[in-house]
Structure 1
Amino acid sequence: MHITLRQLDVFAEVLKSGSTTQASQMLALSQSAVSAALADLEGQLGVQLFDRVGKRLVVNEHGRLLYPRVVALLEQAAEIEQLFRDDNGAIRVYASSTIGNYILPEIIARYRRDFPELPLELSVGNSQDVINAVADFRVDIGLIEGPCHTADIVTEPWLEDELVVFAAPGSAILQQPVTLETLSTAQWILRERGSGTREIVDYLLLSHLPQFRLGMELGNSEAIKHAVRHGLGISCLSRRVIAEQLESGTLVEVPVPLPRLVRRLYRIRHRQKHLSNALMRFLRYCDS
């Protein structure tokens, strides 16, 4: 068997574009050369990698099995090409909102001071968005606010994070002893479902209440802070998120009759993701 990197590159591009015509344009090859490379690869493997549906090529179970391994091989080949250069491949990071907005800026600042020219792509979304991007090989590494149970993803404990319940100064809940009952009758303003923060708040806090009143769900922490500050309800977010407001007194921590609400932040990557030197270097900054 003599599989070539060109054949694998052609396979990956055809999978992404869905046709040999578009793949030939992306690879600057003739359509006949693309078709021949794909046919040679399928011949050597003894299986079809795509179902032919009219003029479209739809990846089948054999192609889906092969694709992650092809991506890993092509990334390793690219790393070999860069081995004696500046090792300056772009790192793609996807972080959930608390991490992306309140933890990563300091890490990236330190990284940039030492490597000002190296490209770094950062996306921010909720935890489920991050998991999906890692599973689809759209990013190199993910940082999320709760555990991931997807079989193809490696989940590693990363940092500890404390959650706090908070309200506006003068809120009614602060005018009486705070009990599970008073917490259950308050209006709660929470992150949307799919958020790592929401998953942990449901598990660590709301599961202990006799009931709870959901006032509204909001898609980002800044909106929640403003809503709470204007007296629309109470909430629970990372201490990192509201640290400045607690210090200035525009928000007040609500003491709850429960153990400290502590969660673990996680680092995730695809099980078949190749860890390049550039990626390992960035991860060292995340751990320092």
Structure 2
Amino acid sequence: MHITLRQLEVFAEVLKSGSTTQASQVLSLSQSAVSAALADLEGQLGVRLFDRVGKRLVVNEHGRLLYPQAVGLLEQAGEIEQLFHNDVGAIRVGASSTIGNYILPEVVARYRRDFPDLPLDISIGNSQDVINAVADFRVDIGLIEGPCHMADIVTEPWLEDELVVFVAPTSPLAQGAVTLEQLAAAPWILREQGSGTREIVDYLLLSHLPHFRPGMELGNSEAIKHAVRNGLGVSCLSRRVIEEQLDNGTLVALDVPLPTLVRTLYRIHHRQKHISSALQRFLRYCEPV
């Protein structure tokens, strides 16, 4: 059996109109198309839905039984059409920790002001976690702190981000200009392997310190800030992450003998991922203001 929504729509309109002629005008179909759809529906059900009284069609007991079911299905189909017409599906965003904790909240706040009821799922991990989620289609879009090297993932530059080398104000390194030798001799507190921040720090900074002294690896920026503030070593994080502590003096930025450490933040999606209008709408809020 292959009952179609069109057949049910024709049946319901014929019942309301009382004739195929009136129904054809409402549905913008030819009278022959309406009659054919009704005949096909009756043929599939194996019953007559109307009694033919002269030129009139009078609904019978079979038609009365079908009518509420047909109307219910047509209403559900209309709800489905409206759902996708408005494009209100949940958007799934994966963000690395610095972006998720220090950049994305402002983006989401602006988005929520205009679209308070649209579903939005945010997951936060390190950059490799986000890359894996994009590769497995577990998120629609990823925002990461380092480049992605997977062939199936499209990587686009998104924002520029300054990195800052910092210590506690009581550190001997905070007393003036520092040398690369002093930095290499200091205990370094770094993000874990797989973090976008760690990859860029290795490339931009630690490559100039071939004999640097590793202190410890920590899984999030908040832990690193607390460790450095308590005098356990030196670190390098996004200025966005430590801006409040720099302003209140609980951490001190070092003037290192290197060019300004600037990295690119990236937006990624799977090459086969369809960028829906809902996703495009969200991405507009991710652009710099």
CA distance in 1, matches of 2:220, 2:146: 16
| Equivalence for 2:272 | 272
Relative to structure 1, the CA distance from residue 80 to residue 147 in structure 2 (aligned partners, 3 Å threshold; closer, same or farther) is farther
CA distance in 2, matches of 1:231, 1:213: 15
| Equivalence for 1:83 | 84
CA distance in 2, matches of 1:177, 1:156: 36
Matches within 5 A, 1:23-62: none
CA distance in 1, matches of 2:174, 2:119: 48
Aligned residues: 209
SS of residue paired to 2:137:
coil
Matches within 5 A, 1:145-156: 145-156=145-156
Q: Is structure 2 residue 162 aligned with structure 1 residue 162? A: yes
Q: Is the 8 A contact 1:181 1:210 kept in 2?
A: no
CA distance in 2, matches of 1:210, 1:111: 44
CA distance in 1, matches of 2:272, 2:177: 52
Letter of the aligned partner of 2:226 in structure 1?
H
Please give the root-mean-square deviation of Cα atoms over the aligned residues, in Å. 1.3
| Equivalence for 1:240 | 240
CA distance in 1, matches of 2:253, 2:144: 24
CA distance in 2, matches of 1:203, 1:149: 15
Deviation per CA, 1:119-160, whole angstroms, max 9, x where unpaired? 000000000000000000000000000110100000000000
Runs of 4+ displaced beyond 4 Å = none
Letter of the aligned partner of 1:212 in structure 2?
F
TM-score computed with the length of structure 1 as normaliser: 0.71
User: Structure 2 unaligned runs (5+)?
Assistant: 1-79
Deviation per CA, 1:32-66, whole angstroms, max 9, x where unpaired? xxxxxxxxxxxxxxxxxxxxxxxxxxxxxxxxxxx
CA distance in 2, matches of 1:236, 1:210: 16
Alpha-carbon shift at residue 287 of structure 1 (Å): 1.0
Q: Is structure 2 residue 207 aligned with structure 1 residue 207? A: yes
Q: Is structure 2 residue 260 aligned with structure 1 residue 263? A: no
Q: Is the 8 A contact 2:177 2:256 kept in 1?
A: no
| Equivalence for 1:191 | 191
CA distance in 2, matches of 1:81, 1:267: 30
SS of residue paired to 1:275:
coil
Letter of the aligned partner of 1:132 in structure 2?
N
| Equivalence for 1:171 | 171
Q: Is the 8 A contact 1:161 1:264 kept in 2?
A: yes
Q: Is the 8 A contact 1:180 1:210 kept in 2?
A: no
TM-score computed with the length of structure 2 as normaliser: 0.71
| Equivalence for 2:65 | none
Letter of the aligned partner of 1:125 in structure 2?
G
SS of residue paired to 1:160:
strand
Q: Is the 8 A contact 2:96 2:143 kept in 1?
A: yes
Q: Is the 8 A contact 2:177 2:255 kept in 1?
A: no
| Equivalence for 1:216 | 216
Alpha-carbon shift at residue 285 of structure 1 (Å): 0.4
Q: Is the 8 A contact 2:90 2:119 kept in 1?
A: yes
Q: Is the 8 A contact 2:167 2:229 kept in 1?
A: yes
User: Structure 1 unaligned runs (5+)?
Assistant: 1-78
| Equivalence for 1:108 | 108
CA distance in 2, matches of 1:221, 1:285: 25
Alpha-carbon shift at residue 210 of structure 1 (Å): 3.6
Letter of the aligned partner of 2:84 in structure 1?
L
Letter of the aligned partner of 1:182 in structure 2?
Q
| Equivalence for 2:131 | 131
Instruction: Indicate the percent of aligned positions where both proteins have the same amino acid.
Output: 78
The structure with the larger Rg is 2
